[in-house]
Chain A
Amino acid sequence: MRALMVAGLALLLTACQGNPTVSGGAGSGSNTAKKVDGAYPAGVKRYEVSADLKKPKMTMAQAAAEKEAAATARNIERNKQLAEDSAQAALHYTQENGIFNWKHSGGAFNGEALGSREDLNIPGGGGYKLEVAGKFDRWDINARLRSIDFGVLTDKSSMIVAHLNKGGDYKDLQPSLRVWDKALSTCRSTLPYVFGDLYLVMRTTNPKVAAMQVCLYEESKTDPFLAAFMTGGEALDEFVGNNGLDISLN
């Protein structure tokens, strides 16, 4: 390392190297005499983690598969219990292995990523964000994609959060925002991480969230901008997800 060695020091030290600093203590195995009240026996011992705390050792693949399987099973089970919500979600989502996927397609999105993915560092959870800037039809948007793990194994939602440019066409969007506000209160949205911007849940394991998103769509589809955003959400999601925007080490 760069600063470890002032050469002057080095020279002076080499002068006294006849006297190496290796101590007899380490590794000599000689230190086996006194032990504190027998709690720690002499000799190199392997103190296992208590049996009640220990978990099975797994490869990364095994661990991932186990986590996935447990999550899927729990999702499917819960979705059955929340049959009413699942039924409403089915209007605009397809369900596979307990995951609801938004199925609209139509709007196109053109734009570019601003920077690279950033971890959200949610305590006890996970997720990342990525900003993109571009156009839906005639509207400029900056969209923040957030893929959020809500901390519980089974509750995972991926949503697009669209932050509206306050300049330019912003005035024109006032009617849309009024519709959006009304929809939010009608559908009793309580989603976290939204900061008052538009959002669209692309994927979720939670039928309640899916049902609410369906409600939001139904309540706001009369507005041309909101309809473009929601029906084009998939294009935006694909743009972000499939265009290699994630930094790659290859």
Chain B
Amino acid sequence: MNRRDFLKMGATGLALASLPGWANIANPERRLVIFFLEGGLDGLSTIVPKLEGRLESFREELMPDNLLDLSSHWALHPAMRATHQLMLQQDVLGIHATSFPYTKRSHFEGQNLIQGGGLAPFSESTGWVGRALDIASNGGRAMSLDTPLLLRGTTGVDNYYPAHVNGSSNPTTRLLEMLHGSLSPEWQTENDKLMARLNGRVFNSRDRSPRGLSEEAGKALARPDGPVAAMIRLGGYDTHAGQGGKNPGRLFSLTGELDTCISTLRKNLGDAWDNTTFITLTEFGRTVKVNGSSGTEHGYGTAMLVGGGAVNGGAVLADWPGLAKSDQFERRDLMATIDSRSICAAVLEHTFGLEHAEIAERVFFTPNLPRLTDRIYL
């Protein structure tokens, strides 16, 4: 099983969150991009702990050749050439043995939890990015439910996925105005957005590949009055079979796709890259040991990438838990020793100018959440 493919946020999809015109935010030029890797990224094959002697014995079949070296300790997956360069240029930081505090291995609960950012799956009806944006812009605005949970809590979120319908014509603003009155209120809101989009002449591209969406995201965020946050969804990380190792398999295409998205985003952001932070999120890592079908099962600890002009990159940040059976979570998964919410909190602190304490308390409901901001930003 893997990707789902649907319109609102397709297997790949892009959602953008804007601040209302009156919002007063500390550094309005700062931007946040989240690559949401659906299915559970195998962190051990993405950022490889080279000195970990046990890795080979657990998963020889999954070990890629031609790793991209970072240091004596770490290397990057061979498909991530652009990201590798960005790590060498100190623009990207790897975080390893990290996870949201979710250990139950269900995609649906996990994806909900990492977007909601609450204490349990399905406990929140808003997302952590949405809540932070609300606090940063003095809040008090209506919640919009038609958006990815991650960004919920803010108004002005827009999903983007270009249409390919044979024999149809583009809607015109005249037609939309005419339809308005006979639509239900929920649809009227969308009608307004569609009209704004037509008037703004944005998103004329018909390219709906992940690369195309990253390009749109980069261009939109680069505008001074553009959205402040974007989420790009990439599917297919649930590599139960044919993950690949010496021979490129599914993970090779997936990390390659992510790599292209990152470099495309950077290229299209241009100078705005200096003010942007991107992070990758995934619901969980995967088992240390290879399964019977050259893949891996749902696990716990994984790896994460944080990048952008302001990020203190060029390193891997980890409290490495080891891979001895007794060091593994439930004797099967990579242990998580860094709470991913600390990374998210750092990104929110930097991007939206919020205090860590407030983020810990009001966004993640975890007052004692460790602060890692100084280890991530310059």
Contacts and interface: CB of A to CB of B under 8 A. Distances in A.
Given A37-B53, A249-B219, A249-B223, A4 B111 contact: yes
Contacts of A49: 70-71, 87-88, 90, 314-315
Nearest to A18: B120
A21 B104 contact: yes
B37 interface: no
Contact of B109 (A13, A32, A59, A247): A13
Nearest to B326: A34
Contact of A45 (B270, B318, B324, B340): B318
B15 to A, nearest CB: 9
Given A21-B121, A55-B89, A4 B100 contact: no
Q: Which of B123, B204, B337 counts the most chain A CB atoms within 10 A?
A: B337
A14 to B, nearest CB: 6
B73 A53 contact: no
A249 B227 CA distance: 12
Contact of A25 (B104, B322, B337, B342): B337
A17 B323 CA distance: 32
Interface stretch (B1-9, B20-28, B174-182): B1-9
A35 B121 contact: no
B87 A26 contact: no
A152 interface: no
Interface in A4-59: 4-6, 9-10, 13-14, 17, 20-23, 25-27, 29, 31-32, 34-37, 39-40, 42-50, 53-59
A13 B149 contact: no
A1 interface: yes
A23 B321 CA distance: 15
A156 to B, nearest CB: 16
B183 interface: no
A190 interface: no
Interface string B74-117: 10000000000001111100000011111110001101110100
B63 interface: no
B327 A60 contact: no
A191 interface: no
Interface string B211-225: 000010001101100
Contacts of A44: 317-319, 337-338, 372, 375
Contact of B318 (A4, A20, A36, A40): A40
B210 interface: no
A59 B100 contact: no
A185 interface: no
B312 to A, nearest CB: 9
B148 A43 contact: no
Contacts of A119: 215
Interface of A: 1-6, 9-10, 13-14, 17, 20-23, 25-27, 29, 31-32, 34-37, 39-40, 42-50, 53-61, 63, 116, 119, 247-250
Interface of B: 4, 6, 8-9, 49, 51-54, 69-74, 87-91, 98-104, 108-109, 111-113, 115, 119-123, 148-150, 201-202, 204-205, 215, 219-220, 222-223, 226, 233, 269-271, 273-274, 300, 309, 313-324, 326-327, 329, 335-342, 369-370, 372, 375
16 contacts: A2-B8, A4-B108, A21-B109, A25-B101, A29-B319, A36-B327, A39-B52, A40-B49, A44-B337, A44-B372, A44-B375, A45-B320, A47-B74, A54-B314, A56-B89, A116-B205
